[in-house]
Chain A
């Protein structure tokens, strides 16, 4: 029997035939990158290939790198292996990576979601034999409500806080979640302020996405002008001196983890909005069914539980250890930017 088309080694997901890595976590020569989050696009590879709409994002994050941008569905061949990128619906520029060799097709999802959020190009079903999927929220307890409903709640929350004379501080990843929230915030309620990390990323994405106006919070921003406004901040800003400027404020987090009452309370956040850029339980099952695959490899999330369920349904499913984190970072103190800095430090 020949070797599998994709293997998992200590550097990442590897295609030996093409000598190419998918979302490697250690520096390699050739890397195809699914999307711009820090756990998938790391510093230090010699050459990067990604969707062209992700190019400005990873350039912003990683500085001067050698990167080629591809179109959706554009096939490029490396040593006989056909590669193409397909929308994953996770964030702007997020792709699934399709790999085909001698008629055998593998798809690596990176991170993805089924719901069309009007920000990322919506998820496309790609037929394959083997499907490498994330399962960050691979538990039946996770069930997303439609985005419209969540954003109505967010705007009502903001309106109410404004009436109570309080500033609304909303936490979300500076890449992806922040712009998705921003797009659907109602600027008729009040002004929208941003933390520097979010403002920088938003500037990068404005050419690709229309969003309400934002104001960067700087040292000169007056405490009085913030009152009743919306402030978008990365999760790492919670509990820092930076946030004191917003007093009196209430905090909220928008994340799939907010499904659990305990997750919100442990983080001492006032309000939790369940809004995720990953699939919920039904989403994962639908996606897998859609691909028509026989083999499933679960990379991150509730991998053991999810793959056991798939096996009971008749799939050849297993898990592989990777260094992807899904939405975990959204709850932890470190931002993606801090993580980048650490990676830079380690590699230099």
Chain B
């Protein structure tokens, strides 16, 4: 545990990726094999089931800290992380434990079977016998996901440096449902497997946002115009009768989209496609909100699959008949792609072509962009017909031309303290719109960015003087201030009180010129739903 806590401390002491990779590599070089497997598991979000519920955890930590429970709760709201709060609030200790990471995790797995009294005793004993970082890590292992600014990709890179095994191959080895308590380091990482090479993706080509007038791109006939889909950019690989789905973060997400298994029989081996994973409930493109229900899941239930199936909207072909064709022109690649999609077996699968549109003038293109929301897209992609498939973010051949955000004037109704450096200021706001029938404000969105520091300070001071009620960290305030809220998309939602979900809401400006009567109504907002 010492080694692992030290690793977390080092990772915490730098914001530089190279130093993080260095620290991880060092850990993978010196840690015992069993610990390494657990470290890999934890950093790829595979943790044992939570052995104690958080209510009890809070109570027990509070007892040890000898403070009232409300004070623990307030501290937790401000610190923002339960394990960190526990580590801070329990009396300091210089002790350190010689137990290995593996031993701690075995104990945590066993803990689930104990009675509450035994659990409490175990936690109290260990909390007091660990120093700050060990205590933080120990509590983190019990409470939940381990977000410490290290992506699975970064971890994989370090593992690759420590083992001299190719990164993509490691990424493949680490996918799937392996059990850290049952697998050895050799089985998981070191054993060679020829099939590993099959999964290798190509680096993505990424576009910049259009900077100048669209006319400056030259002759419109040299460009392919497509809708820009609002899903998950991904590369889908079919090789040797196997399917691999990579997300743009270069994470293997094959298991999350079982409907794509159908491609194995329909798409020929030696094919790599670039496209967008989109939600497709009721046979049409859904909203990003729908997709969100799928993103977080490692295992997908049958009910969810039926309710929110996904499709692949494909726009490019990188490998065809086992050959890397990235250097041929977009036009040629699209022709191959067309012949692939036209195959009759494909029509049985969730593979759809992202249409390439041709226009006679840039005015027509602009007109199409205005229609984007009707098409459930977030704007247009402009791709030069003679462009090769480049590596990384490059200017010139591909541009994204997004639609302008939607906006609405809403009233500030609730405020919550920010976190970290903003924890003294009320910076997280809830906004309401008028329900005309009931003449009351209905919450529709939360936002916490878009104002300058100076504006936040002003609003904060006003909130402190105009609080109506307090609910823990949240305060309701006198409806008085109107803000213009911008958002990228909008959809109906049963989960929201307003009946509407907005995507990426943020504050565009503080409308000090407007009174609350001038704010928009819920009906105004609903009228924006495409």
Contacts and interface: CB of A to CB of B under 8 A. Distances in A.
A262 B75 contact: no
Nearest to A142: B88
B57 to A, nearest CB: 16
A141 B15 contact: no
A139 B81 contact: no
Contact of A261 (B72, B74, B84): B84
A78 interface: no
A268 interface: yes
Interface string B413-430: 000000111011000000
A138 B81 CA distance: 18
Q: Enumerate the 5 nearest inter-chain pairs by beta-carbon distance, A residue then B residue, closest first.
A: A262-B420, A141-B88, A263-B420, A331-B421, A270-B14
Interface of B: 12-16, 19, 65, 67-68, 70-72, 74-75, 78-81, 84-85, 88-89, 92, 149, 419-421, 423-424, 453, 461, 464-465
Contact of B14 (A250, A308, A309, A328): A250
A321 B464 contact: yes
B328 to A, nearest CB: 41
Contact of A305 (B12, B74, B465): B74
Contacts of B14: 250, 270-271
A306 B251 CA distance: 46
B84 A321 contact: no
Residue from the set B78, B81, B461 with the largest chain A CB neighbour count within 10 Å: B78
A328 B461 CA distance: 15
Given A140-B75, A302-B78, A266 B453 contact: no
Contact of A270 (B16, B74, B424): B16
Nearest to A251: B15
Given A141-B78, A305-B74, A332 B15 contact: no
A208 to B, nearest CB: 31
19 contacts: A141-B78, A141-B88, A141-B89, A143-B88, A145-B92, A257-B420, A257-B421, A260-B79, A260-B80, A260-B423, A262-B419, A263-B420, A265-B420, A266-B419, A270-B14, A270-B19, A271-B14, A326-B424, A328-B424
A269 B89 contact: no
Nearest to A267: B421
A261 B12 contact: yes
A341 interface: no
A301 interface: yes
A53 interface: no
Contacts of A312: 68
Contact of A332 (B80, B85, B421, B465): B421
A156 B423 CA distance: 30
Contacts of A266: 419-421
A270 B149 CA distance: 12
B88 A270 contact: no
Contacts of A332: 421, 453
Contacts of B464: 321
A248 B434 CA distance: 54
A2 B80 CA distance: 45
A259 interface: yes
Contacts of B75: 139-141
Nearest to B12: A261
A215 interface: no
A333 interface: yes
A139 B420 contact: no
- Which of B71, B85, B461 is the most central at the interface, judged by chain A CB atoms within 10 Å of its CB? B71
A333 B71 contact: no
Interface string A233-277: 000000000000000001000000101111111111111000000
B15 A265 contact: yes
A260 B420 contact: yes
A337 to B, nearest CB: 17
Contacts of A267: 421
Given A261-B81, A301-B424, 15 more contacts: A139-B78, A140-B71, A140-B75, A143-B88, A145-B92, A257-B421, A259-B88, A260-B79, A260-B423, A270-B13, A270-B15, A270-B16, A302-B78, A305-B71, A328-B421
Q: Which of B72, B85, B424 has the most CB of A within 10 A?
A: B424
Contacts of A257: 420-421
Contact of A269 (B15, B72, B74, B149): B15
A333 B74 CA distance: 27
Interface string A277-296: 00000000000000000000
